[in-house]
Amino acid sequence: MVTNNPPSFLAVMQMTENQCRDLLRARRWPNGPTCPKCGDADPYKIIRSPGKNKVREHYRCRACRKDYTVTVGTIFEDSHIPLNKWFAAIYLMVGSKKGVSAHQLHRELELTYRSAWFMAHRIREAMRDKCGLPLLSGTIEADETYIGGKPRGHRVWRERIKDEEEMGLRA
């Protein structure tokens, strides 16, 4: 049961690994699983139980015989970090105006700094524009943004002081 509205931050933090996988599966494959290698939409399920209270669901493509999971081909692939922490990190990074540092992710999600840094880089890479659209042009409006103003820097500051001294504004 997936709605169009994303879950709240609190709901994400309370989700289990299987609930997160179900959410990801529903968002990624609304019409059922599709092989990331060949695109075939008729896999069969392989359910493994590697340990206590753990169930891993894999798919095997009938066409190319490759195994895959819902995380293959995503930023979550080859990561041992729980999906609810991934979702929480995405929520924090997308929802903040000025961005989130790896140190903040490390503190708030109780991860090691290396894991937080790894997550932050993968999330930023996923948010990067890869479709090659041209940059913005023409008149652009943005809330709470100031673009332009006087140039700053050492040379500009010295030139301004020099000009003020020549005009007699400075002693």
- Splitting the chain (171 residues) into consecutive groups of 10 residues, what average pLDDT does each group show? 70 87 90 88 81 74 88 91 93 88 94 95 86 74 69 67 76 61
Buried b (16+ CB within 10 A) or exposed e, 36-69: beeeeeebeeeeeeeeeeeeeeebebeeeeeebb
Parallel/antiparallel/unpaired status of strands 67-68 and 43-51:
unpaired
| Residue 103 Rama label (left phi>0; alpha psi -120 to 50; beta) | alpha
- Phi, psi angles (nearest 5°) of residue 48: -115, 150
What pLDDT sits at residue 95? Answer: 87
Which residue shows structure tokens 């990074």?
93
Closest CA to 80 of 50, 124, 44, 38: 50
What pLDDT sits at residue 107? Answer: 95
- Can you give the residue ranges of every domain in the chain? 6-29+73-128, 34-69
Q: How far apart are CA 27 and CA 21, in angstroms?
A: 10
Q: How far apart are CA 54 and CA 48, in angstroms?
A: 8
| 102-129 residue pLDDT tens | 999 999 999 999 999 999 999 998 888 7
What pLDDT sits at residue 17? Answer: 86
Q: How far apart are CA 53 and CA 48, in angstroms?
A: 11
Q: Is the CB of residue 33 less than 8 Å from the CB of residue 43?
A: yes
What pLDDT sits at residue 121? Answer: 94
